[in-house]
Amino acid sequence: MNLKDCHNVEDFRKLAKKKLPSPIFHYIDGGADDEVTLRRNSESFNKCDLIPNVLTDVSDIDLSTTIFGQKIDFPLFLAPTAMHRLYHHHGEKAAAKAAEKMGTMFSMSTMSTTSIEEISNINRGPKLFQLYIHKDRGLTDNLIERCQRAKFHGLCLTVDTVVAGNRERDHRTGFSTPPRLTFGSLLSFAFHPGWSFNYLLREKFKLANIIHMTDKGSSIDKSVIDYINEQFDPSMNWKDAEYCIKKWGGPFALKGVMSVEDAKKAIDIGASAIMISNHGGRQLDGSRAPFDQLSEIKDAVGDKLEIILDGGVRRGTHVLKALALGAKACSFGKAYLYALSAGGQKGVEMILEKMKSEIRRDMILMGCKSIKNLNKSKIIFRA
């Protein structure tokens, strides 16, 4: 199997599984506890059906939308995800270049293996930075100020990761960062010589945004889970979020909002957006799927917040359904990481291209000229 055999997310997943040592693949692929929420995220989209209109002249389709003040060519972008250097030797640069080429937004994680400044140099397109609040508050200020200088367009604060979720696949595979050699992992690395060669001989793994601020920056001795539990600040609260919004002074989202109550509070503290998300099922297992919460949150906040939805998005129809219930755009994580692992920048371009043409085709089949025409009347929930 190779890139030309990849027609959908599942194909990229299979190729990523073939190319990556198992601890790395399962770090991307896995969720928390029994992975109930992980599975539910995609399944939730199947509870309702799309109702098309016919004979509407769909010769000219507009897929564009505006998020964080930036126009993107179609309503799907790359969610912030940690440590791309583990999945491909070009790391975040590959994903950022692919996003710009395809006319969509790149989101960069605090836990990136490429720095804010490096990404700003190679990506002139829409860029979002994802913030984690560390116990060392100087680090938060430093990250915000660097994003301002690097002209990022928006910031999102992840609020669902005050402790790390219990990702049992990582315990079983012995996942660590940088990858550690145990008997089991050694076998897996030996069976993936392409990955191992690139990992050992190319650019060194580092948490590029925080390397200068923490001695854990270049090497997390145990695992990313230990890093989160040791370094992230569990006392983070609404006042801290408000502080970040004021300091940033531009488009700002809370990422990981799942309740109406919290969405309303996000308005009160001055957020311009929320990302309805459960971290791709990697944090609180048993939490609801973002899609199941969307309608209620949209009814409560109206147009006071831009709503982004992530979690389980694998098909163009998933995006259409989310937009019909009030999201302005969706983002996805695992899907593009499979593609990055499978084929670097080319792989990410391919998955974005495939999703864009799916969304376009689905819009035509729905009889919708513009994503603005997607609304609740286009969906029926099955009893």
Ligand X SMILES: Cc1cc2nc3c(=O)[nH]c(=O)nc-3n(C[C@H](O)[C@H](O)[C@H](O)COP(=O)(O)O)c2cc1C
Compare residues 214 and 373 and give the one whose CB is closer to ligand X.
214
User: Shortest gap between Cβ of 60 and ligand X (angstroms)?
Assistant: 30
The question of whether 279 is a catalytic residue gets the answer: yes
Stretch that binds ligand X, among 45-53, 134-142, 326-334, 353-361 (CB under 6 A): 326-334
Tell whether residue 310 is a contact of ligand X (CB under 6 A). Answer: yes
Compare residues 170 and 362 and give the one whose CB is closer to ligand X.
170
Tell whether residue 177 is a contact of ligand X (CB under 6 A). Answer: no
Site for ligand X, residues 155 to 174, rule: CB under 6 A: 158
Tell whether residue 311 is a contact of ligand X (CB under 6 A). Answer: yes
Tell whether residue 334 is a contact of ligand X (CB under 6 A). Answer: yes
Residues binding ligand X: number (CB under 6 A)? 24
Kindly tell me which residue out of 21, 174, 333, 343 binds ligand X, with binding defined by CB under 6 A: 333
The token pair at 375 is 């609304």
Compare residues 46 and 375 and give the one whose CB is closer to ligand X.
46
Compare residues 173 and 368 and give the one whose CB is closer to ligand X.
173
Compute the distance between CA of residue 351 and CA of residue 290 in angstroms, rounded to an integer.
22
Alpha-carbon Rg for the chain, nearest whole angstrom, is 20
Catalytic residue among 26, 134, 279, 318: 279
* Residue nearest ligand X, CB atom distance: 333
Site for ligand X, residues 99 to 158, rule: CB under 6 A: 109, 111, 130, 158
Beta strands in the chain (DSSP E): 48-50, 65-67, 70-72, 76-78, 106-109, 127-131, 154-158, 252-257, 273-276, 306-310, 329-332, 379-381
Tell whether residue 79 is a contact of ligand X (CB under 6 A). Answer: yes
Phi, psi for 99 (deg, rounded to 5): -60, -45
Tell whether residue 41 is a contact of ligand X (CB under 6 A). Answer: yes
Compute the distance between CA of residue 236 and CA of residue 157 in angstroms, rounded to an integer.
11
Closest CA to 76 of 263, 312, 272, 242: 312
Tell whether residue 80 is a contact of ligand X (CB under 6 A). Answer: yes
DSSP letter assigned to residue 358:
H
Tell whether residue 313 is a contact of ligand X (CB under 6 A). Answer: yes
* Residue 356: partners with Cβ closer than 8 Å, 6 or more residues away: 63, 73, 74, 76, 102
Compute the distance between CA of residue 369 and CA of residue 379 in angstroms, rounded to an integer.
17
Compute the distance between CA of residue 112 and CA of residue 99 in angstroms, rounded to an integer.
16
Residues that are catalytic: 279
**Residues at the contact surface with ligand X, assessed by CB under 6 A:** 27-28, 41, 79-82, 109, 111, 130, 158, 255, 277, 279-280, 310-313, 332-335, 337
